[in-house]
Amino acid sequence: MIAWTIYITFAGAVLLLLLPRAFARWIALLTTVAGLALGLIALVRTPTADLTHFRTIVQVPWVPALGMNYHLAIDGVSLTMVLVTGISALSTVLFSWEVERRQNEFFFWLLLVVAGCYGVFLSADLFLFFAFYELVIVPKYFLIAVFGSTNKEYGAMKLTLYSFFGGMLVFVGILTGYVTAGSLDLSQLSQFQFSPQLQSWAFPVLFLGFGVLAGIWPLHTWAPTGHVAAPTAGSMLLAGIVMKLGAYAGLRVAMNLFPQGFQMWSKWIVLLAVVGIVYAAAVALRQHDLKFVIGYSSVSHMGFVLLGLGGATALSVSGAVLQMFSHGVIAALLFAVAGRMIYARTHTRELDVLAGLNLSRALPFAAFAFVVASAASMGIPGFSGFAAEITILIGAWKTYPLAAWITGAGMVLVAAFTLRALKQSFFGETEPGVHFQQGRVALDPDWNEQQSITLAEKCGACLLMITTVAIGLYPKLLLDRIMPAVEAMRFLK
């Protein structure tokens, strides 16, 4: 039944092309609600024991001559990713409720991205997987280039070309695997013994290709510019789900297909991850644009995911999966506050200007949401970020203690830039004599109407906040499903 997440989302996208504008946002809302509901039903109804291996849910021959099947499967890792996709997608639609221009087109591209992500997380056939993976790239271009803001055409093109470059490397890796093993089925491929010589070059090609989308340092530079250029929904989707595609694919495909290659290269993954965490955090500390801060923070947090994967223990990899979930939620919330709640009302994201506005008084709900998001992002206990990152660090400690040390120190930087952004954006000193209303009018002469936080935005923010707290308090809910699935994977043996 979980397969219906894909079909419903595609159907919603097609409906958007056919029905008039008045229905657009409701179709998008219903579609994403249905997606999330299906994910939750699967979470509740599927016994944990059924999630320990990649269990087939649909298998239909597609192009028998080439051994292609329409093959979907699910395990704990996939289910977790489907859930975060559902949550991010729903909140994204809620935060896009006010989009006025070319609404049908906007939600069409948005749903295509979401459908592609569901597809990637559930595919068990390499060709199908790759098709969904590449499908996500182009809608992002349109979302950003048509609906974006700052420097949108540059950001969109850069992001698309980076993704496609990664896709090219992935293509080489996938073809190599397919041609050598003569199969496209992921479970068959993960039984096949590739020669160590082949693994030694195919793994890095494949993993690096996926790493581009995961924001691996030094191929991360598309992420900050892309996030800044994107509309709020675009940033939320990008940081919330799309970057996870890369990490998930690295785990599901690259590491499972080429375990010996992974053994050979894991220390380099860890090195890049640690550099990414510290470097991106340091860069974020110096940014003036709030979205750039969050964009770099995404790179930094994705560094944790890569560290977890590179740590190569069941615990660290499970932590990485949990971090994908957690960061998907937190990043979506951060971008929602910055892009939708702040920027749409003040028309600025400059931290220095925001500091003069003291937004916490004008937008208390936004301030509250941002505090929660920042706390979760910094890794305060009780939020999902902490649960995930501590799992990663403990897991990686066994294999790469030095990396764990450096990362632990790097977390101070993460806290520093998060607190700086939080203070300047919401709790700045009000300049004497400048009232909030005046400040806002001075910034944007066209602005003439007081907008309070809308109901849709509140719902979206609450959904994300509740999720991060719930998983922070009870990470076992997901870890119980992730851990056995990770332990069943080949690269640990």
Partner 1 sequence: MKAGDSTISYLELLKLASPETIVVITALAVLSIGLLSGRVKSTATVSTAKPAQDASDTSTTTGICSAIAALGLAIAIGTVLMLPRNATLFSGMLVITPLTSLFKIICIALAVFTVLLTTSEESLHHPGEYLALVLFATVGLMLLVGSEELLMIFIGLELLGLSLYVMTAFDKTDVRSAEAGLKYFLFGSTSSAFTLFGISLIYGLSGTTSLAAVSEKLATVSIQPLLAVGIVMTLIGFAFKIAAAPFHLWAPDAYQGAPVPSSAFIASASKVASFVVLGKIVLVGFAPLHGSAAWHAMVAGWSPVLAALAALSILLGNLVALAQSNVRRLLAYSAVAHAGYTLIGLVSGDRTGFSAALFYATIYAITLVGAFGVVAIVRRETGGDDFSNFAGLSSRSPLLAGCMSVFMLSLAGIPPLAGFFGKFYLFSVALRAGANQGLLWLVAVALLGSFISLYYYLMVLKAIFVDEPALASSRHVAVPPALLSRATVAVLAATVLLLGITPEILAAPILAAVP
Give residues in contact with partner 1 (CB under 8 A). Answer: 17, 62-66, 105, 127, 130-132, 134-135, 137-138, 141-142, 145-146, 153, 157, 160-161, 164-165, 168, 171-172, 175-176, 178-179
Handedness of CA 440, 446, 449, 455 (dihedral sign): negative
- Residue whose CB is less far from partner 1, 137 or 283: 137
| Nearest distance, CB of residue 3 and partner 1, angstroms | 16
Would you mind telling me the total number of residues written for the chain in this entry?
Answer: 493
* Angstrom distance (rounded) from CA 143 to CA 234: 6
- Alpha-carbon distance of 7 to 127, in angstroms, equals 18
Please tell me the distance from the alpha carbon of residue 343 to that of residue 290, in angstroms, as a whole number: 10
The Cα–Cα gap between 12 and 31 comes to: 6
**Contact by Cβ (8 Å): 258, 171:** no
Q: How far apart are CA 478 and CA 464, in angstroms?
A: 16
- Least separation in angstroms between residue 228's CB and partner 1 is 17
Neighbours of 318 (CB within 10 A): 29
Nearer to partner 1, 61 or 401 (CB): 61
Nearer to partner 1, 178 or 296 (CB): 178
Least distance (Å) between residue 252 CB and partner 1: 18
Minimal distance, residue 133 CB to partner 1, in Å: 9
Residue 132 or 386 with smaller CB distance to partner 1:
132
Q: Quote the least distance from Cβ 258 to partner 1, whole Å.
A: 15
**Backbone phi, psi, residue 357, to 5°:** -100, -25
Element containing residue 72 per DSSP (H, E): strand 68-74
**Using CA atoms, how far apart are residues 467 and 329, in angstroms rounded to an integer?**
7
CA-CA distance, 337 to 457, in Å (whole number)?
Answer: 9
**Minimum distance, C-beta of residue 194 to partner 1, in the bound complex (Å):** 12
